[in-house]
Chain A
Amino acid sequence: MPGSQELQSTQSDAERLRFLFVLSETLEKVTRLRQILYGQKAFIGTDQGDGESIGAVDNLAAFLEKHCQTFLEISDLVSAFLQRTYLNDGQIEAVLSKLAILIKGVGQTHELLLLLPREAAMPQASFLLRDCLGIENLRACIVLTNFIVAYEYRLADVLGQIQIEQNEREALTQGGDVLCQAFADKDNPLAWPMLAHEYGHVLNDDHASAQDISKEIVSGDASEPQSAQKRDSQRSWILGVISETVADFVAARVLGPASLMPILFVEMMQPPRDKLGLSTVHPPTPLRVQLVREYLASLNVSTTDFKAVFDAYDLDYDSKLQEMGEEQQKSVDEHAKTAEQILRQVVDQITLRVNALGLRRFETEGIDNARALQTKLASRQPISSRRSRSDDDIFAGLESLTAGKSTSQEAYAALEGLDEDPVPTSEILTAGWLYRLSSLEEALRKTFPGAGQKPDLRSFGDLTRKTDDLLLKSLERAAVHEVVRRRLTAA
Chain B
Amino acid sequence: MATATAPRHHMYLSVLAGRAITALADLAGDPLVWNERVEGGLNDGIVYCQTIRTRGTSVIRSIPSDGFNPLKRAVGSTTSEESPSVFAYAEAEKVEFFLAQLAKRERKAEIAELISAIKFLRRTATNR
Contacts and interface: CB of A to CB of B under 8 A. Distances in A.
Tell whether A pairs with B: yes
B121 A149 contact: no
A66 B16 CA distance: 10
- Is chain A's interface secondary structure helix, strand, loop, or mixed overall? helix
B66 interface: yes
Contact of B66 (A57, A274, A276): A274
A198 B76 CA distance: 17
B111 interface: yes
Given A89-B111, A147-B68, A148-B69, A277 B24 contact: no
Contacts of A93: 28, 114-115, 118-119, 122
B65 interface: yes
A184 B121 CA distance: 27
Contact of B65 (A77, A101, A102, A273): A273
Most chain B CB inside 10 Å of its own CB: which residue of A59, A66, A70, A280: A70
A71 B14 CA distance: 11
B69 A274 contact: yes
Contacts of B33: none
Interface string B16-37: 0111011011011100000001
B73 A281 contact: yes
Interface in B96-125: 111, 114-115, 118-119, 121-122, 125
Contacts of B78: 273-274, 277
A152 interface: yes
Interface string B55-71: 00000000001111111
Interface range for B: 35 or more
Interface residues of A, number: 63
Contact of A91 (B18, B25, B80): B25
A263 B75 CA distance: 12
Contacts, number: 176
Of A102, A147, A149, A182, which is in contact with the most chain B CB atoms at under 10 Å from its CB? A147
9 contacts: A56-B2, A63-B11, A95-B25, A98-B22, A147-B68, A274-B71, A280-B77, A281-B73, A281-B76
Given A93-B28, A101-B18, A148-B69, 20 more contacts: A70-B18, A73-B22, A77-B29, A89-B28, A91-B25, A93-B114, A97-B21, A97-B119, A101-B122, A101-B126, A105-B14, A112-B2, A150-B70, A152-B72, A274-B69, A276-B75, A278-B77, A279-B73, A279-B74, A280-B76
Interface of B: 1-6, 8, 11-12, 14-15, 17-19, 21-22, 24-25, 27-29, 37, 65-78, 80, 111, 114-115, 118-119, 121-122, 125-128
